[in-house]
Structure 1
Amino acid sequence: MIMSPVDTTATHTAHPPFTASAKMAEQLQQLHVDLIDLHIVGKQAHWNVVGKNFRDLHLQLDEVVDAAREFSDTVAERMRAVYVTPDGRIKTVAAQSSLAEFPADEVDTTETVDLITGALYAVAATARRIHDDVDAEDPTTADIIHSILERIEQLAWMIDAENRVANQSLPRQRNA
């Protein structure tokens, strides 16, 4: 059977029930960039952390990296589903990330805990800042952000606990 060549001149027209606004596209791009940077920062920390409780923190950093990679992919795929083009190029990440730069040299475990907790909370701040606007436009995408936020804040709490002193360190829940 002879197959005829595919007609590449045909125009494809999609009629999706929803496409993201420019504002939502910008907000998802920011979360995407922050998650990519969290992956990079997590690997930098993973390779260069030294000191007390090294192994435990080294393994926790793998969890951060895995979550960040998975979440950045989830956000990028959701962006495509709502007709937004994600930009994960390194120059874009470097220019747009909300995360602080991580040191290039060895970093003590105590400082690493504080730096990674700060990076996790920077991603959480982005997710919290955009969540309600995204929810108003597209609750399905907001559900994804909610799941990301839940895990990122859990990781931050678990890692931050490494440096906390029981009943002395902030933040503490205050009794009413």
Structure 2
Amino acid sequence: MITIKLLKIEDFEPVGVDNLDKFVKGLNNVLGHSVEIANKIDPNFDGYYLLPMGFTIPESGNGIVKENINEKVFLLSVINSNIPRILEECKPAGLTNWALFFRAGTSVIGKKDVIEKVYTLEEGDNVMYEDLGYDDYIPFPKDGTYETVAKAILSYLEVYDKWLKNK
């Protein structure tokens, strides 16, 4: 299993990340231990970071948010209107959108090359992100639990990790 940490940037509090505590509890249940919390990205860390976003834009906190988003960071609960901009400017590992996250939905927006390895994409589906090299899929049916959300994110990151290392 890949190693993950929850990234909570120092002196910055995201707004609108509904049910983050429930997600962390579900994630801890899936992991079998408490997820470690980091305050900044460690370039020597070989795992992935989960970064709560909500209504946050990349320039927030004098650009500190944007500085902490890269191909090793998966974003949690991104407001829909910010998704294209964040994908284009920051190139994260992937993300969940706000509307589905707070409802314990399991849709993942991730790298199209990775999703194609685990899911048959329908032609013309969600072309909004396709030009940016991303698409979305539902790895597990929604059951209303954050354990399922955590499993969806972790399953995507497992395949993403293999893809990134072989890129």
Scaled by the length of structure 1, what TM-score is found? 0.28
More helix by share: 1
Q: Radius of gyration: which is bigger? A: 1
User: Comparing both chains, which one has the higher relative contact order based on Cα–Cα distances under 8 Å and sequence gaps of 6 or more?
Assistant: 1
More strand by share: 2
